[in-house]
Amino acid sequence: MDAFTTHTGTAAPLRRSAVDTDQIIPAEYLKRITRTGFEDGLFVAWRTNEPDFVLNKPEYADASILVAGPDFGTGSSREHANWALLDGGFRVVISPRFADIFRNNSTKSGLLTVVLPAEDVAALQDACEADPALPVTVDLEAREVRWADRTVGFEIDDYTRWRLLEGLDDIGLTERHLADIDAYEAQRPSWKPTTTPV
């Protein structure tokens, strides 16, 4: 996973609520067995069917920050949704509220999800609609989003922030505790099932 410290880019306003993972990337685009190349499925139905869709507008072609309505990422556990956003050039999604699995996946894939109050999200959407070239900075070290003369703080727990800043992968961290896992396994009840064919 790439480390995330601070990112400055332009932002695209996605004024929709409850954007589900089937909209972010439909199931038929999940058949690829590689880890990259999912940008072709990103919001493909809206990009295909709605000429006015925000990501069809040339002024947002280089946007790297998506500013969405509440409940972004509901539905499936597909991490492909995070990969599609990354492959499509996004490093950050800002929303008043995220679905749990999407948000958790984002901490594993290096896509930063930032929760801001609804009024700040609306203000940022207005600002990048008025000026699509407006630079927006997402500063993970300072836990701040900055644009024009505004600075809005956001919350993220220290542990997740540290992992993202360092770009650390969880498996390596867990492998430091193999002795604890061994000890736990030694006391598991014998009646717990195994999948070994009977």
Partner 1 sequence: MGRTLAQKVYEQHVVRRTEGEPDLLYIDLHLVHEVTSPQAFDGLRAAGRTVRRPDLTMSTEDHNVPTTDLLAPIADPVSRAQVEALRKNTAEFGIRQAPMGTRDQGIVHVIGPQLGLTQPGMTIVCGDSHTSTHGAFGALAFGIGTSEVEHVLATQTLPQRPAKQMSVRVDGELPAGVSAKDIILAVIAEIGTNGGQGHVVEYRGTAIEALSMESRMTICNMSIEAGARAGLIAPDETTFEYLRGREHSPQGAEWDAAVAAWRELRTDDDAEFDREVVIDAASLTPYVTWGTNPGQGLPISGAVPDPADFADETDRRAAEDALAYMGLTAGTPMREIPVDTVFLGSCTNGRIEDLRVAAELLRGRKVAADTRMLVVPGSIGVKQQAEAEGLDAVFTAAGAEWRGAGCSMCLGMNPDQLQPGERSASTSNRNFQGRQGKGGRTHLVSPAVAAATALTGKLTAPADLQEVSA
Residues that bind partner 1 (CB under 8 A): 16-18, 20, 22-23, 26-28, 30-35, 45, 69-71, 74-80, 82, 97, 99-101, 104-105, 108-109, 158-159, 170-171, 173-175, 177-178, 180-181, 184-185, 188-198
Query: What's the closest the beta carbon of residue 84 comes to partner 1, in angstroms?
Result: 13
For partner 1, give the closer residue by CB, 11 or 111: 111
- To partner 1, the closest distance from the beta carbon of 104 in angstroms equals 7
Query: Whose Cβ is closer to partner 1: residue 58's or residue 190's?
Result: 190
Distance CA(79)–CA(84), nearest Å, equals: 9
Q: 58 vs 197, which CB is nearer to partner 1?
A: 197
Could you give the residue ranges of the DSSP H alpha helices within the chain?
21-24, 44-49, 80-87, 100-109, 118-130, 158-166, 170-174, 178-186
**N-to-C CA span, the chain:** 40
Q: How many helices (H) and strands (E) does the chain have?
A: 8, 8
**How far lies 64's CA from each of 41, 67, 188, in Å?**
17, 10, 47
Q: Taking Cα atoms as reference points, which of 51, 90, 60, 58 lies closest to residue 73? A: 90
Could you tell me if 26 and 79 are in contact, meaning their C-beta atoms sit under 8 angstroms apart? Answer: no
**Distance between CA 86 and CA 190 in Å, rounded?**
44
Q: Between 166 and 170, name the residue whose CB sits nearer to partner 1.
A: 170
Q: How far is the CB of 139 from partner 1 (least distance, A)?
A: 22
- The residue (of 133 and 190) whose beta carbon lies closer to partner 1 is 190
Amino acid at 98: F
| 29: amino acid identity, one letter | Y
Of 39 and 71, CB closest to partner 1: 71
Nearest approach, Cβ of 41 to partner 1 (angstroms)?
A: 11
Q: Smallest distance, Å, CB 134 to partner 1?
A: 24
Least distance in Å: CB of 99 to partner 1? 6
Tell me the residue type at 4. F
